[in-house]
Structure 1
Amino acid sequence: MPLHHEKSAVSQRREHGNTRSFRIMQLQSTGDAHLPSLLRSCIDHKSYSTGKLLHARILRLGLLNATFLCNRLVELYSACSKTRYAHLVFDSTPHKDIYTWNAILGAYCKAGELQSARQLFDAMPERNSFSWNNVISSLVRNGFEQEAVDVYRSMICEGFVPTRFTLASVFSACGALLDVEVGRRCHGLALKIGLEKNIYVGNALLCMYAKCGLIEDAIWAFRDLPDPNEVSFTAMMHGLAQADRVPEAIEMFRLMCRQGICIDSIALSSVLGVCSSGEYDESFLDSCGGGLSCILQGQQMHSLMIKLGCGNDIHLSNAIIHMYAKNGDMDSAELMFGNMSEISVVTWNLMIAGYGNKCESDKAIKHMQRMQCCGFEPNEVTFINVLVACVKSGDVEMGSQIFDKMSFPAVSSWNAMLSGYFQSGNNIEVIKLFRKMQFLGVRPDRTSLAIILSSCAGLEVLEFGRQVHAASLKAAGDADVYVASGLITMYSNCGKIELAKLILRKTTKLDSVCWNSMMAGLVLNSLDIEAAVCFKQMRQMEMLPTESSYATMLSCCGKFSSAFYGRQVHAQIVKDGYTSDVCIGSALVRMYCKHGDIEGARRFFDMMPFKNTVTWNEMVHGYAQNGFGHEAVCLYENMIGLGVKADSITFVAVLTACSHGGLVDAGISIFNSMWQEHGVEPLLDHYVCIVDCLGRAGRFNEVEVLIDKMPYRDDPLLWEVLLSSCRVHANVSLAKKAAGELLHLDPQNSAPYLLLANIYCSLGRWDEARAVRNQMNDNQIAKDPGHSWIDIKHDTQTFL
């Protein structure tokens, strides 16, 4: 529909001016020509009392027929927030013009009485751009962005051309709604009518793009502005910071200074917010304002604040404390805190949150106590900050005491306690607290539901998990992907994989977390082929795999008989640029080792730029499983020499290598060094490895001495390993003892019967072997069948 203007604004002003001139002549005849200017002054200064006196004068002189005076009275009462009186004047105006209607409409919009404003707007006999702008801007200001966009559409359909105020309001609404489609259409219209370079429109446009995550479009909108002001720069700084482009955000502030733009408290507050993001690695510093870290940039802003004379601004001082606290510099935060002439509850909360981030719950609690001694009353944020500090410090008991002191804890406080119990591994308490939360009628949010579902998954309590599922449907519905991923994990861990698949199918907007949860669940339930199919479907839906996706998929490929699929995934990892990720690198090493390609695993291991303990463990374990005992021990010694901390899994891997490689003395030396040199207490797996190592070497006297002293004597695995060694060395007496212990601990295990029978057979003692076999049949013990497979052109043939 073609756009057209109403009666031109010039002609309206001319008519209004003619009418006003006539009314002034009337006033001059009565000697009250000064009334319009007096009313204007009252409006400007919001002088309610003086305005009422002038209103009385107008009534006494019988001048209500002067429409322009009535319009001024409506404006006066609107400016003084007396909407009811404005409406009374409006009703008593005998000759209403469009200015009268717009004045009362503005009064309702200013007072936030949107329902009355909409009714009045619909009843207006005539509307102009000012009328539309009033309604649209008031809807946006009061958070009714979608209604504002709908009104804008009606305005365009009725043929009105939007003004700079219209477009600025609509761009603001689109930014709040993240509706970039409507925003782009408005951008096109702004280009058509030549308003794209207007400073108000341009600032609103770049803000819209920044909020929608389209930072490149925001940069183009910024560059199109002929004379960007402080609002433009501040909006760009905020948008770049939100997009994690911290160096560019700080450089934007430097550009603002170079161009002589006025630096006000809002600009300083914004750049301090950017500096508060902090916590990036050293390689990032060179691109951040000449190699300065965020904490140094923040210190410069602190100096600039003092230079500009803003040192006593409490909001900026709070921003400085927040910047220091976020960057972990609590000494500077304390210095700033001590020098402030005025502090507020917000200041105390920032200090408490800062100590919470550093896991110093004792200092956070002391600050809350000092805060109360100074006469400040802790609010909800104070308690949450202290609670989070206790949880992060691992002091869940103290956190529980703080939580119990809260009169009406918000959902965020409940979430902090749920998270604390979950992180400490106390899933039972998580469930108890969630039940209490429901009993008190506190509505859980997506975070509460995700935590409780994780606890249900950890405990594998299906029935309670179903109840949480019902609560999630009531609270968040099926659409929340955050909850959906938790449900998929819970049902997968409880063995209900079909229900997990159903959740995945019913979720309309899937993200990578949901797909990762589904793949992990399938692998957990030994459905590796289906996990690979799930990975393929994820890619077909143009969902980019994450580090977790690839790690799960490599774990899955490691179980396949062929390395073909693993190499395909490796190629995709290289293409997507994830080869430097330490978790994916460790998974690749494990995958190649499982397929026996120890050279390929070592080659990739040596190429990895970053390695952690897990990476070293995988390579040592790969050598051990593939019979390269000497290489495994050498790699272990290299690992220790480089200062990498060994853990219990490291010692399992290297002791397994010593066992398989016959390196008995090296194994004993490493076993003895576990606690003495590395502070790692030997567990069952370590004892099993060293028993296997000694047993394979036939050093049974040392084995018996070790078993008598070890704390894991009642574990079947230990005796099964010993029995296996007795078979190799035909040690019948010890084999009988081991078999007896094993049958006592695990009567249904076929291994002791078979191993003992094989020992007798190897010695030609057929009667005794037959007796063991008969005893096995009498006890109805069946041997698990073995499998063999061969890969022919990527097709696996299995034999039973």
Structure 2
Amino acid sequence: MLRLGMAPCSITYLNTLQACIDVKSLTFGREVHNAIVKSNMESDIALASCLIDMYCKCCSVVEARRVFDFLPKRNIVSWGSMISGYVQQLHSTSALELFADMQQEGIDPDPLIYCDILKAYGKLKSLEQGKLMHKKIASSGLTVNAMLMTSLIDFYGKCGRMEEAHAVFEQSGKREEMLWSALLTGYVENEQMGAALMLYECMLQKDICPNTLTFLSILRACASLETLVPSRLVHDQIIKAGLNADLVLATVIIDVYVKLSSLGEGCSVLETLPNADTVSWTTLILGYAERGEAGSALELLDKMQQSGVTPDSVSFLCLLKACSSRKTLMLGRLVHDKIIRFDFLSDLLIGNALVDMYVMCGNLEDGHNVLDDLPSRTVVSWSTLISGYVEINDGCTALQLFEKMQHDDIEPNEVTLLYMLKACAITGVLETGKWMHDKVIRKDMMHNMLLGSCVVEMYAVCGSLEEACRVFDLLPFQDAVSWGAMISGYAQNGCFIAAVKCLSEMQQQGLKANAVVFASILTACCNVGFVYEGWRYLMTMHHHFGIEPGVEHYSCMVDLLGRTGYLSDAARLLESMPVLPNIIGWTALLGSCRRHGNMDLAMQCFNNALKLDLIDASSYLLLSSIFNDYQTQELEDFMPDQRIDWGIR
């Protein structure tokens, strides 16, 4: 039209701008704006209002405001368009400021503007201001407006005031479907599922047909129940309403069945869906993956491809997350193969998720290989792998990885520094720990209590108790974690009295000792051989603090008894403790048996541990050394097959 030299009229421009809104084309919208300017029609209020609407809906509120400010004269429509745009783009404060300007100019709001302002108040949870607006609406005689009443119900729901929302609903004359839906949504959003279900039942009794939004809300309520009956009833009503082909509704129905562990019914919904997309397929696939059904998850992934739907990065991210949480390495590897086949390995988020999956599944070697193959690595990639090595106490590899990370010119974040401080504590490398501490200070991160506590722990474990105390005193405040770090440091350095004093000071500050703190105190008792104190603290944590002793506490006590020569008592404690002993307790007792030359008890411990399948190569070697001390071949004759499995010659 423009090429032919024809000048568009305002109606043509309005229709063209509406088309730009429909397709969300900001670029073409700007071209239309330029054409309007060239036509000297920018002061046309109808066109300006439409331009404001276009810019806002295309996510450019700055340009919308520029058009608004340029207007020589504004009417209720232009004010409303700009306020609505701010609300749509979540600029609630700007919307309220503009509303105040409008009122100062003496322009009375219409119902649409009232609705937008109530949305803004709801987003900001500004209850008192919203109540004042409610009074103004009532005094204006607008309480018969169903749209306004719906906005009021929604506002009170957003503020968590369902009694007021219900009162507005009751005061409404003609209760249209939108009012029912708003109240029901409010109940669901405030997790009042019982009230939501009762309202839904009442709605059906009054022959009010729910819309898609109502069904979405009530399905969310159904998902929170422990029974499938309400979900099935709602599903039947959706079918009767002719909405069973609605993709969004169908996907939510699948999700509800998945959450209620009825994967078969979820499959049935998917199979009857003519237009299933990536989201609906992924919802069901994820359901199987999260329940550890790797075969079914991959079978569905293949069916998804066969149906012509291609998995996207979100599909793989969800699957990898499920593999990580369930620690299903086999499925993780199969998903990895699919990722390579679909050429998603270059996706940074997927690469990081792959590293995380292997780390969470305990396969650090494959995680390391994935990291090496990534086309680009971020601080998240490196930190994930570093954390994995720190968790298995391999501080040396963690330090090596950090050095490589620096060669990549990647700055550590709080997570990286947290794990590097732990790595320094594991390896006892004080100088590197000091460098990490300096890095934390230069990055102004000492306000992070976890980091601060890790700095304290690093100095304490590395034997620099004076520096640990200095850092502890400089912390913005001392919490249970930082106190625990100091107590642990004293305990590991054999400073029993200082550890106990620290515990006393911690309690005076009103902080309650946790299981970790008691493990440290028991370690301190063990290091100095205080048997009576050890028993006392083991009993105290249960009777006075309500903390059930765990395997680590009993293992400490076993070690303490063994070191001080109470071998029979240590063995009885291992056999009678209410939690299943681990290899640490048995190894500690074996070490004590060697120290005190009790070969009979050592063999008895070994047999008991063997029954529990807790024997490993290190335990075998320890017992072997005991037998070697007494120049006997008995152990080698006793377990020849296990020696071969462990690679012991």
When normalised by structure 2's length, the TM-score is 0.71
Q: Check conservation: 1:753, 1:772, Cα contact below 8 A.
A: no
The letter of the residue matching 2:83 is T
1:500 to 370, 374, 391: 370
CA distance in 2, matches of 1:554, 1:561: 10
Residue from 292, 303, 312 that aligns with 1:428: 292
Q: How do 1:188-227 and structure 2 match up within 5 A? A: 203=52, 207=56, 211=59
Q: Matches of residues 181-330 of structure 1 in structure 2 within 5 Å? A: 203=52, 207=56, 211=59, 230-231=79-80, 234=83, 237-238=86-87, 241-242=90-91, 250=96, 253-254=99-100, 256-258=102-104, 260-278=106-124, 294-330=126-162
Question: Given that residues 497 and 522 in structure 1 are in contact (C-alpha distance below 8 angstroms), is that contact kept between their aligned partners in structure 2?
Answer: no
Aligned position for 1:145: 25
2:570 to 703, 707, 711: 703
Displacement of 1:627 in angstroms is 3.3
1:13 is aligned to: none
Q: Distance in 1 between matches of 2:57 and 2:73?
A: 19
**How far did 1:668 drift?**
2.8
| Residues 1:668 and 2:548 are matched in the alignment | no
Residues 572-651 of structure 1 aligned to structure 2 (within 5 Å)? 572-609=439-476, 614=481, 617-637=484-504, 639=506, 644=511, 648-651=515-518
Could you say if the C-alpha distance between residues 125 and 739 of structure 1 is closer, same or farther in structure 2, counting changes exceeding 3 Å?
closer
Please state whether the residue corresponding to 1:276 is helix, strand or coil. Answer: helix
RMSD, matched Cα? 5.3
CA contact (8 A) 2:188 2:220 kept: yes
Equivalent residue of 1:505, what SS? coil
User: Which residue matches 1:411?
Assistant: 251
The Cα shift of 1:451 comes to 2.9
C-alpha deviations, 1:108-130, integer Å up to 9, x for none?
xxxxxxxxxxxxx48x7433354
1:754 to partner: Cα distance: 3.3
**Is the 8 Å Cα contact of residues 346 and 374 (structure 2) preserved in structure 1?**
no
Is the alpha carbon distance of 1:438 and 1:754 closer, same or farther for their aligned partners in structure 2, counting shifts above 3 Å?
closer
Structure 1 partner of 2:264 = none
State how far apart, in whole Å, the 1-side matches of 2:172 and 2:184 are: 16
Provide closer, same or farther for how the CA distance between residues 371 and 455 of structure 1 changes in structure 2, counting only shifts above 3 A: same
In the alignment, the residues of structure 1 paired with residue 343 and residue 231 of structure 2 have an alpha-carbon distance, to the nearest angstrom, of 27
Give the counterpart of 2:170 among 338, 343, 355. Answer: 338
1:128 aligns with 2:7: yes
Residue 741 of structure 1, CA deviation: 3.0
CA distance in 2, matches of 1:707, 1:539: 51
Cα contact 1:411–1:444 (8 A) shared by 2 = no
Question: Which position in structure 2 is the counterpart of 1:289?
Answer: none
CA distance 1:446–1:724, change in 2 (3 Å): same
| TM-score normalised per structure 1 | 0.60
Contact 1:522–1:530 at 8 Å: present in 2 too? no
**Alpha-carbon deviations, 1:425-460, whole Å to 9, x = none?**
953269857866875868766655433221122344
Is the 2:93–2:120 contact (alpha carbons within 8 Å) kept by the matching residues of 1? no
Deviation at 1:779, TM superposition (A): 7.5
What letter corresponds to residue 491 of structure 2 in structure 1? A
8 Å CA contact 1:430–1:455 kept in 2: the answer is: no
Contact 1:352 1:364 in 2 (8 A): yes
Distance 1:331 1:150, change over 3 A: closer
> Which residue is 1:490 aligned to?
357
Deviation string 1:447-477 (CA, Å, 9 cap, x unpaired) is: 5543322112234445533554677789996
Q: Does 1:161 align with 2:38?
A: yes
What's the secondary structure of 1:321's corresponding residue?
A: helix
Q: Which region of structure 1 is more displaced relative to structure 2, 327-336 or 228-237?
A: 228-237
Which amino acid in 2 is paired with 1:684?
V
Structure 1 residue 694 corresponds to structure 2 residue 526: no
Give the conservation status (yes or no) of the 8 Å contact 2:591–2:622: no
Partner Cα separation in structure 1 for residue 427 and residue 177 of structure 2: 60
CA distance in 2, matches of 1:514, 1:748: 33
Offset of residue 414 of structure 1: 4.3
2:549 aligned with 1:685: no
Cα deviation for residue 220 of structure 1 reads: 8.6
CA separation of 1:566/1:774 partners in 2, compared to 1, >3 Å: closer, same or farther? same
The separation in 2 between residues aligned to 1:418 and 1:482, in whole angstroms, is 25
Aligned equivalents of 1:780, 1:643: Cα separation in 2:
52
- The answer to whether the Cα contact below 8 Å between 2:290 and 2:326 also exists between their aligned partners in 1 is no
Higher Rg: 1
Question: What is the rounded CA distance, in whole Å, between the counterparts of 1:403 and 1:504 in structure 2?
Answer: 47
3-state secondary structure, aligned to 2:549:
coil
Checking the alignment, whether the CA contact within 8 Å between 1:539 and 1:545 is kept in structure 2 is: no
| Distance in 2, Cα, partners of 1:357 & 1:603 | 48
TM-superposed deviation, 1:714: 6.1
Contact 2:463-2:493 within 8 A present in 1 as well: yes
CA contact (8 A) 1:203 1:232 kept: yes
Contact 1:207–1:236 (Cα < 8 Å) also in 2 = yes
Structure 2 letter corresponding to 1:683: G
Deviation at 1:137, TM superposition (A): 1.8
Moved more, 567-576 or 769-778: 769-778
CA separation of 1:239 and 1:711: change in aligned 2, threshold 3 A: same
Contact 2:144–2:172 (CA under 8 A) maintained in structure 1: yes
Q: Which amino acid aligns with 2:619?
A: A
Shift of 1:140: 0.4
Q: Which 10-residue stretch deviates more, 431-440 or 545-554?
A: 431-440
Q: Which runs of 5+ in 2 are unaligned?
A: 262-285
**Against the structure 1 CA distance between its residues 382 and 136, is the aligned structure 2 distance closer, same or farther, given a 3 Å change threshold?**
closer
Q: 1:384 to 1:204 in 2, by over 3 A?
A: closer
| In 1: Cα distance, 2:383 partner to 2:254 partner | 27
Give distance in 2, aligned partners of 1:337 and 1:739. Answer: 73
Alignment of 1:358-373 (within 5 A): 358-373=190-205
CA drift at 1:722 = 1.9
Aligned residues of 1:237 and 1:252 also touching (Cα < 8 A): no
- For the structure 1 residues 746 and 484, does the alpha-carbon distance in structure 2 shift closer, same or farther, using more than 3 Å as the test? closer
Name which of structure 1's ranges 450-459 and 367-376 shifts more when overlaid on structure 2: 367-376
Alpha-carbon distance, 1:385 to partner: 3.3
Shift of 1:719: 1.8
SS of the residue corresponding to residue 605 of structure 2 reads: helix
User: CA separation in 2, counterparts of 1:711 and 1:605?
Assistant: 36
d(CA) in 2 for partners of 1:520 and 1:399? 44
1:132-184: per-residue Cα shift (whole Å, max 9, x none)?
8467424303215167269669x88xx99365659999xxxxxxxxxxxxxxx
Question: 1:702/1:389 Cα in 2 relative to 1: closer, same or farther (>3 Å)?
Answer: farther
Deviations 1:214-233 (A, max 9, x none): 97x98899888777763476
Q: Which residue of 1 aligns with 2:617?
A: 749
CA deviations over 1:695-723 (Å, ceiling 9, x no partner): 33444454344334324456433222222
Which moved further from structure 2: 432-441 or 702-711? 432-441
1:722 is aligned to 589
8 Å CA contact retained: 1:555, 1:591: yes
SS at 2:317 equivalent: helix
Q: Secondary structure at the match of 1:262?
A: coil
Q: Secondary structure at the match of 1:751?
A: helix
1:263 maps to amino acid: P
C-alpha distance in 2 between matches for 1:704 and 1:222: 83
CA contact (8 A) 2:320 2:354 kept: yes
Of the structure 1 ranges 400-409 and 712-721, higher mean CA displacement relative to structure 2 is found in 400-409
Structure 1: stretches of 5+ with no match in the other structure? 1-120, 170-197, 279-292, 786-800
